[in-house]
């Protein structure tokens, strides 16, 4: 699974209809350990800039990441 | 390339107008502008339309001839330009080139958007189409959330605060309260602005521009013929457009917009001016953070200082660099396809000394910055006394 650190994030409170059931949800841009950046959904604990995160699952084409215990980034 | 002037400007008020459809709005703005220039429709040689999402909002497509014919201009070239919220800035840039190149002497640019016919969640979805739908939008990003992520990083890197963001909203509402054409003519306090309900953290309701109906238009003319049509022509000193990746996650640093810096550099060069020569500006405050980033990218303040400068009153009407004396997108309203040309109309009004209570003391050189998406298109225009 991919891992990286949070470059920036937000918690969305107003969403289009297809995401309305998920509100509030967190979106982040993650700087991947292997290079590049990707916009992902965060699940579990909320994250902040510079937090280590790891990919937890891919559901319907959306990447979900969660806070990682590892500091090995 | 020959000099180009603006000889007519006009717009509808911005707001929710259930009785005016997209074409009716555009026709009202176009007719006001023809009247302002003292021109008959038959004098216009080419028609440029800026519109972001008319087909999605109203189901009507093929919009340029649909509107130009209703203005009495059937026969001439009529084309729609789409560049998200910079659609009419892009149309204006093409119109400028049509005249500057010598192909046309007199052309019209209209910007229009009809948004209030759709419920807010649907509006949010249509606006999301200006982002990268395969990546960031799919993951759940909305436009407020993209700018919220810019705000978070700007706060992290430069110490910009929640209060700085609200200072933009408070200032723009104070200006818009004096604008008879503004959608939300309401003064707000710093406390109200800071405690509104969250939309995408750290942005709240008062950090976001409005959902609006509206249209704006200008007539451009070869500068050597401008006095035939106007006692007070306004000269286009510089105009430029630049582009960047649509997806926010493809930009190496999201606290600055490469497209804004690129367009600004070219526009300043064309005008032979530096940021310090600009006396006032209309900036694209689709969200409060966007105004802060824009004033930095345009060179009005050092990088990272935009929020501090705003909180110190630097951008108020009586400050050293008045920004959005019209009320900005925040208070005036943001019918997205109309915004670029509406900003130009606001500059023209100030330069002609027709801004009433909002009239600025220094008003002979103004700059408009029109941004598309989260910075994928930018058009910068500098106007001055002819």
Closest alpha carbon within chain A to B147? A10
Q: Given an 8 Å threshold on Cβ–Cβ distance, is A12 in contact with B142?
A: yes
On the question of pLDDT at A73 being above 60, the answer is no
* d(CA A5, nearest CA chain B) in Å: 13
Tell me the three state secondary structure of residue A20.
helix
> Does the N-terminal peptide bond of residue B202 adopt cis geometry, omega within 30 degrees of 0?
yes
Size of chain B, expressed as the number of residues it contains:
386
**Model confidence over B181-192: pLDDT tens digits?**
999 999 999 999
Chain B residue with Cα closest to A12 = B200
- Please give the pLDDT value at position A71: 55
The model's pLDDT over B204-229, given as tens digits with 9 standing for 90+, comes to: 999 999 999 999 999 999 999 999 99
What residues of B act catalytically? 85, 334
pLDDT grade for A70, boundaries at 50, 70 and 90: low
The model's pLDDT over B238-277, given as tens digits with 9 standing for 90+, comes to 999 999 999 999 999 999 999 999 999 999 999 999 999 9
Residue in A23, A26, A39, A41 to test binding to B, most B beta-carbons within 10 Å: A39
* Nearest CA-CA partner of B306 in B264, B255, B381: B255
CA nearest B234: which of B364, B368, B341?
Answer: B364
Q: Do B139 and A41 touch (CB under 8 A)?
A: yes
What is the per-residue pLDDT across B285-310, written as a single tens digit (0 to 9) for each? 999 999 999 999 999 999 999 999 99
Q: If we measure between CA atoms, which residue out of B3, B1, B14, B46 comes closest to residue B343?
A: B14
Identify the pLDDT of residue A17. 86
CB contact under 8 A, A27 and B139: yes
For the cut 70, the answer to whether the pLDDT of residue B142 exceeds it is: yes
Cα angle: B204, vertex B206, B212; to 5 degrees: 115
Q: Tell me: the pLDDT tens digits for B307-331?
A: 999 999 999 999 999 999 999 999 9
What local confidence, expressed as pLDDT, does residue B214 receive?
98
């Amino acid at each position: 699974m991919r891992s990286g650190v949070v470059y920036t994030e937000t918690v969305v409170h107003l969403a289009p209809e297809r995401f309305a059931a998920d509100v509030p949800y967190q979106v982040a841009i993650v700087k991947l350990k292997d290079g590049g950046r990707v916009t992902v959904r965060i699940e579990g604990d909320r994250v902040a800039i510079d937090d280590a995160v790891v990919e937890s699952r891919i559901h319907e084409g959306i990447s979900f990441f969660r806070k990682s215990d590892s500091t090995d980034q | 390339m020959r000099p180009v002037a603006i000889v007519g400007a006009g717009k509808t008020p911005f707001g929710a107008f259930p009785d005016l459809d997209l074409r009716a709005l555009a026709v009202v703005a176009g007719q006001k502008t023809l009247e302002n220039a003292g021109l008959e429709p038959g004098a216009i040689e080419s028609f440029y339309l800026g519109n972001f999402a008319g087909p999605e909002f109203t189901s009507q497509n093929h919009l340029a001839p649909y509107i130009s014919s209703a203005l009495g201009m059937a026969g001439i070239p009529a084309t729609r330009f789409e560049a998200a919220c910079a659609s009419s800035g892009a149309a204006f840039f093409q119109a400028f080139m049509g005249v500057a190149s010598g192909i046309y002497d007199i052309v019209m640019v209209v910007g229009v958007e009809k948004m209030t016919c759709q419920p807010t969640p649907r509006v949010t979805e249509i606006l999301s189409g200006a982002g990268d739908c395969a990546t960031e939008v799919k993951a759940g990003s909305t436009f407020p959330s993209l700018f919220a992520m810019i705000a978070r990083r700007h706060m992290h890197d430069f110490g910009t605060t929640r209060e700085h963001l609200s200072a933009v909203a408070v200032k723009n509402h104070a200006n818009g309260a004096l604008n008879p054409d503004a959608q939300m003519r309401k003064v707000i306090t710093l406390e109200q602005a800071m405690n509104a309900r969250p939309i995408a953290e750290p942005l709240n309701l008062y950090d976001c521009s409005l959902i609006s109906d509206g249209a704006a238009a200008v007539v451009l003319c070869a500068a050597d013929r401008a006095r035939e049509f106007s006692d007070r022509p306004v000269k286009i000193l510089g105009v430029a457009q630049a582009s960047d990746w649509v997806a926010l996650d493809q930009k190496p640093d999201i606290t600055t917009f490469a497209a804004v810096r690129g367009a600004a550099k070219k526009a300043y060069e064309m005008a032979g001016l530096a940021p310090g020569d600009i006396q006032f500006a209309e900036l694209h405050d689709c969200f409060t953070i966007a105004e802060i980033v824009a004033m930095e990218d345009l060179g009005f303040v050092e990088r990272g200082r935009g929020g501090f400068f705003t909180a110190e009153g630097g951008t108020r009407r009586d400050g050293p660099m008045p920004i959005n004396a019209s009320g900005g997108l925040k208070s005036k309203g943001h019918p997205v396809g109309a915004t670029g040309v509406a900003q130009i109309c606001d500059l023209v009004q100030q330069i002609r000394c027709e801004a009433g209570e909002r009239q600025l003391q220094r008003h002979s050189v103004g700059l408009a910055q029109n941004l598309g998406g989260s910075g994928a298109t930018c058009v910068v225009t500098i106007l001055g006394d002819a």
